[in-house]
Amino acid sequence: MTIFEAYNSIKKQLKEAGICDDVFEAKQIIKHITGLDNAGILSSYTNELNEFQKTNLTVILKQRLARYPLQYILGRWDFFGRAYRVGPGVLIPRQDTETVPETCLEILKGKENPTVLDLCAGTGCIGITLGAERKDSTVTLVEKYEEAARYTRDNIKLNAPENTTLLMGDVFEGTAADKQYDLIVSNPPYISANDMENLQPEVKFEPDVALYGGEDGLMFYRCILANYKNSVKSGGSLVFEIGYDQGNAVKTLMEEFGFSDVTVKKDISHNDRVVFGTVK
């Protein structure tokens, strides 16, 4: 089987399985099994796959047709222009989440040597982006689960300067709340009990502890507001990622906890995605 035949066969099988991004995914899988980049594939598409590559392809295709996430198969995924290690046990960074560090970087403009706390860090994609983009910052990431933290540590090594560190802990116990920060940011688990019943097949492979936000999806927002409200410096900000239908509820919660200028912002897909406010 040549590379070109393999590509066409993968594309066809993905399409038949209802995976809509079949062209993109077929190309990613070919790159993964051959180790070639775009130019390499173009110049060698009539080459035969070797036995190892063919076996690898069979295993990968079987996994993907069972809706195992492509990102876990590849073992890495890009976020804000940097590659992150991903796999079972950690939430895959979403493109919609890029609105979160974008908002944080706007807020931090003009603040020198800012201190940042990223709660519920997962791969670390939010805090690491901030540490890497703002070399003068000091960033602390908090994650509860070792299954996720082994990726956080790797990703800090891969992408972040020495200003970024991981602290194992629990937001329900107020880990790291004993200090004050210029910015606290969090993309906590926020899926409600009802929505957990209707997850896409791929999402079901991601850890429940990264998804489930309590009966109404708002449990983590209430807890973080209660435990960390006094950890935001005067003039500092709190930034949350939210589900597309949680803008009003989280805005109201932040106002109840005394935050000012609370704003809901949309992501690139035009869904409400970020709520942020300041402490006067």
Ligand X SMILES: C[S@@+](CC[C@H](N)C(=O)[O-])C[C@H]1O[C@@H](n2cnc3c(N)ncnc32)[C@H](O)[C@@H]1O
Binding site for ligand X (CB under 6 A): 91, 93, 97, 120-123, 125-126, 142-145, 148, 170-172, 187-189, 209-210
> Closest CB to ligand X among 54 and 157?
157
Integer Cα distance of 239 and 133 in angstroms: 17
> Closest CB to ligand X among 4 and 145?
145
CB of 19 to ligand X, least distance (A): 22
Q: CA-CA-CA-CA torsion for 69, 74, 78, 82, nearest 10 degrees?
A: 150
Of 36, 37, 49, the residue nearest 5 (C-alpha): 49
What amino acid occupies position 240? Answer: F
30, containing H or E segment: helix 22-34
> Closest CB to ligand X among 15 and 76?
76
CB of 248 to ligand X, least distance (A): 20
> Closest CB to ligand X among 14 and 126?
126
Collapsing DSSP states into helix, strand and coil, what is residue 18?
coil
Collapsing DSSP states into helix, strand and coil, what is residue 232?
strand
Angle subtended by helix axes 219-228 and 247-256, to nearest 10 = 20
Q: What is the DSSP letter of 138?
A: E
CB of 56 to ligand X, least distance (A): 28
Lookup: tokens for 206: 């991601």
CB of 222 to ligand X, least distance (A): 13
Catalogue the E-assigned strands of 152-255. Answer: 164-168, 181-186, 232-241
Residue with smallest beta-carbon separation from ligand X: 122
CB of 153 to ligand X, least distance (A): 13
CB of 204 to ligand X, least distance (A): 15
> Closest CB to ligand X among 170 and 216?
170
Collapsing DSSP states into helix, strand and coil, what is residue 113?
coil
Q: Write down how long the chain is.
A: 280
Of 147, 152, 97, 146, the residue nearest 121 (C-alpha): 152
> Closest CB to ligand X among 159 and 187?
187
> Closest CB to ligand X among 65 and 209?
209
CB of 121 to ligand X, least distance (A): 5
